[in-house]
Structure 1
């Protein structure tokens, strides 16, 4: 074994935690990073799945410990999955060390929903890389986004990834491999306090910050999808949705039992006229 390889093996293994909202492609990216070098179990005392793997840096030869955290929309947990993800990120979990680096996976086709978690993680002051996943799908569907502008607006590295394509993780691997871990590894034992419960004013401020970031990044949703999103907001509204359903059912009832009479009369008159015409044209049978 040569000296660089021996030094890489002897060096402490930095811990990376992948975090993101559900269905952002986080687990697919985890599988792409770790390949077969992973093990699956449950967190102690609960049925929440815990996934751990290993990533070897292609440049440094260093081995990284990679944890796939449960999906979470926010650091204010509403489910057990979110509570575990929050505790691991804050270094407060009983069996999991605090991560040296957070990799926040975001869905490029639904960036508005994902940015709230990114901003909450950024406020913790921990090292973070944003993995802009599904970048190819966003481009195919007509989304516009300036990745460099998004990086400047957030103040953290943003790298494009395509978790379902071979090589789609290469930019993220390079960013991880070249990240400086000296000070983070020394501060691994640090425990952070959970963020206070957000008030209505805090939530509104976060939404304003999300809009600012999207504006500076030039994020644009395709017109067709924007219209469909507005329609969904109306149809799925707890008040407007049932009212629209009642109107549609009423119109269907009217169409079947009232408005159908005129077409029925026209059809019956036509059939009777055709019958009378055929009776006059055709000779009587035997």
Structure 2
């Protein structure tokens, strides 16, 4: 009888649909093995083409991300009124939609981070080495600078007049308001990344097809809806840096620290919450 049950599980949900409940009861923890943490330093990576290919993928994805999103922000900015263009909701869709598409395209190559805050959170959870994390962050920032630069290159006048999509604390909000918005917004994003890419969850619900880029892109969309009026929504230091460098006006640099400190704090909190509270990893080896 025991052998029959094991056979049913091994054959999966397709044949025995009535015996396989959906959700968390579908499989047990014995179907999952906790992956070993990534080494802090992995010198062998520097000799591997896959390492550099992943960095190039992060560079290109962030370049394309800035290109589309900065153009969308400028399109709304130059419209006589928001109803004449895609409006704030359209900007949010541009950011969320591009993240969905780019994570889908690059997840199999680099993991599809496209954001130093996401990279930091995953590094703290030991999902990648320090070597790879630093390389990703550099390539993401370079990609963002190039993406904003491409936009300015063929429409310099409108770019400078419309502030080039640079993140600025909006009138009526304090630096504390902006910092809080960036912390919470990045927490939501990085927490969603952890949940959508959780290997244990994927093993447990393997018969329920969940496309990881979808909730990640949707989280970006929702955070932008909430915080565009406050900071223009950063939650991505590379995106903020690229726009600030290419726009290069004082107002883009006045509060630029917020768009690094806020996302990094949010990423650290999300990593700690997922690893300690949700997964309880520090407690698993205790009796």
TM-score w.r.t. structure 1 length?
0.24
TM-score w.r.t. structure 2 length?
0.24
Which structure is higher in strand share?
Answer: 1
Which structure is higher in helix share?
Answer: 2
